[in-house]
Structure 1
Amino acid sequence: MLIAHLSDPHVRPRGQLYQGVVDSNAMFEAALAQLDALDPRPDLVLLTGDVVDEGTAEEYAVASQMLADIGLPLLVIPGNHDEREAFRACFKAHAHLPATGPLHFAVGEHGPVRIVALDVTPPGEHHGEFDDATAFWLEATLAAEPERPTLVMMHQPPFASGIPYIDDYSCRGGERLAAIIARHPQVERVLCGHIHRFMQLRFGGTMLLTAPSTTTAIALRLAPDAEPASYVEPPAMLLHQWRPGTGLVTHFVPIGRFAGPFDFF
Structure 2
Amino acid sequence: MLLAQISDLHIKRPGKLAYGRVDTAAYLSRCIEHLNALDPRPDAVLITGDLVDFGDTEEYAYLRTLLNPLAIPYYLCIGNHDGREALREVFGDHAYLRDQARFVQYEFELGGVRIVVADSQDPPHGGGRLCDERLDWIAETLARSAAQPTLLAMHHPPFDCGIEHMDEQKLDAADAAKLAAIVARHPQIERLLCGHVHRAIQMRFAGTIASVCPSTAHQVALDLRKRGPSRFVMEPPAFQLHRYVAGEGLVTHTAFIGDYGGAYPFYDENDALID
TM range (shorter): over 0.9
Q: Which residue of 2 aligns with 1:216?
A: 218
Alpha-carbon shift at residue 69 of structure 1 (Å): 2.5
Alpha carbons 1:234, 1:254 under 8 Å: kept: yes
CA-to-aligned-CA distance 1:31-70 (integer Å, 9 cap, x gap) = 1110000001111110000000111211111101111231
- Counterpart residue identity of residue 152, structure 1: L
Shift of 1:183: 0.2
Instruction: Please name the residue that 1:233 is paired with.
Output: 235
- Report how far residue 134 of structure 1 moved: 1.1
Letter matched to residue 104 of structure 1: Q
For normalisation by structure 2, the TM-score amounts to 0.94
Identify the range of structure 1 (17-26 vs 91-100) with the bigger mean alpha-carbon deviation.
Answer: 91-100
Task: Pick which of 69-78 and 157-166 moved more.
Answer: 69-78
Structure 2 counterpart of 1:251: 253
Deviation, 1:92, is: 1.7
The separation in 2 between residues aligned to 1:54 and 1:97, in whole angstroms, is 19
Structure 1 position 184, deviation (Å):
0.4
Q: Which amino acid aligns with 1:111?
A: G
Runs (5+) with no aligned partner, structure 1: none
Q: How does 1:160-199 map to 2 (within 5 A)?
A: 160-172=160-172, 173-199=175-201
Find the structure with the greater CA-based Rg: 2
SS at match of 1:46: strand
1 CA distance for matches of 2:70 and 2:23? 20
| CA displacement 1:187-221 (0-9 Å, x = unmatched) | 00000000011100100100111000111111111
- Corresponding letter in the other structure for 2:105: H
Q: What SS is found at the alignment partner of 1:76?
A: strand
Instruction: Please give the secondary structure, in 1, of the residue aligned with 2:32.
Output: helix
Say whether the 8 Å CA contact 1:50–1:194 is kept in structure 2: yes
Aligned to 2:86: 86
Q: How far apart are the structure 2 equivalents of 1:119 and 1:4?
A: 19
Equivalenced residues, count: 264
Q: Please tell me whether the aligned partners of residues 32 and 69 of structure 2 are also in contact (alpha carbons under 8 angstroms).
A: no
Q: Which residue of 1 aligns with 2:116?
A: 116
Q: Which residue of 2 aligns with 1:39?
A: 39
Distance in 2 between the 1:122 and 1:78 partners?
A: 11
RMSD: 1.1
Deviation at 1:228, TM superposition (A): 1.2
Return the letter of the residue paired with 1:202. R
> Alignment identity in percent?
43
Amino acid of the structure 2 residue aligned with 1:212: P
2:99 aligned with 1:126, yes or no?
no
2:273 aligned partner: none
1:67-107 deviation per Cα after TM superposition (whole angstroms, max 9, x unaligned): 12312221111111111110111222112222621111111
**Bigger mean CA offset, 189-198 vs 52-61:** 52-61
Q: Given that residues 53 and 82 in structure 2 are in contact (C-alpha distance below 8 angstroms), is that contact kept between their aligned partners in structure 1? A: yes
Specify the alignment match of 1:154 in structure 2. 154
How far apart in 2 are the matches of 1:71 and 1:100? 29
Corresponding letter in the other structure for 2:228? A
Which deviates further from its counterpart, 246-255 or 69-78?
A: 69-78
SS state at 1:143 partner: helix
Q: How does 1:34-113 map to 2 (within 5 A)?
A: 34-98=34-98, 100-108=101-109, 110-113=110-113
